[in-house]
Every structure is written in structure tokens, then in C-alpha cells.
């Protein structure tokens, strides 16, 4: 079974509320180029070691470049009992839709 997906426009509606748990699973160099403002960076290869940094008390939205890596992580987290949504189209679709982005490393 695959984790549920949402579109970047659906994510935008949740993101606007300001307290969405969004995790970017891309590599740091990809994140630096452009990312959704306020997202948490946990590269795909670090997810298992950093599970304690992923909230269990609310829906977690997972994003990568186009949705493949985040889909794999979403399936894994779903199997661990997390409430997750994979963002279809990923950061590339977010950029194409003209939604806000930031550059640089997390603070």
C-alpha cells in the first residue's frame, strides 16, 4: 500500500496555516538551491537515524524534487504508523506553480 499523495496546491493551503510539518528529504545541495520556506531538511538517507525529529502527533508532508524519494520515505513512515502525505511533483512542481521559495541552508 502506498501513502496518500497531495498536490502542491493542496500543500500550499496547509502551508499557509503556518504550522504544517513539512520534511524535505532531498540532499543538502538541492535544498540550498530552493526549498519551501520553513521546511525541515532530513535527507532520505538520514530518515531512519532522525526518526525522533519527525512528529508523530500530526500529519507530516514529505517533499523531494519530483515525488519519488519522498514517496519511498512516505511509504516507510506510513508502515511505522506515521500520518504522512507525499507531495506529488515535489519542489519542482511547487516552483512551477509560483509558490514561495527560500534558498540557503536551514538556520
The three-point CA angle 3-28-24 to 5° equals 25
Catalytic residues: 64
Q: Which residues are registered as beta bridge partners of 62?
A: 23, 86
Q: What is the DSSP letter of 66?
A: S
Task: Count CA atoms within 13 Å of residue 86 on its CB side.
Answer: 21
**What is the sign of the dihedral through the CA atoms of 7, 31, 35 and 92?**
negative
Amino acid at each position: 500500500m502506498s501513502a496518500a499523495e497531495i498536490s502542491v496546491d493542496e500543500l500550499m493551503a496547509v502551508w499557509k496555516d503556518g504550522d504544517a510539518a513539512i520534511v524535505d528529504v532531498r540532499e543538502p545541495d538541492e535544498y540550498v538551491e530552493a526549498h519551501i520556506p520553513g521546511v525541515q531538511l532530513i535527507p532520505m538517507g538520514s530518515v531512519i537515524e532522525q526518526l525522533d525529529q519527525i512528529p508523530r502527533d500530526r500529519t507530516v508532508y514529505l517533499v523531494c524534487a519530483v515525488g519519488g524519494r519522498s514517496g519511498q520515505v512516505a511509504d516507510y513512515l506510513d508502515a511505522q504508523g506515521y500520518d504522512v502525505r507525499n507531495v506529488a511533483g515535489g519542489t519542482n512542481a511547487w516552483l512551477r506553480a509560483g509558490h514561495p521559495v527560500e534558498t540557503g541552508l536551514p538556520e
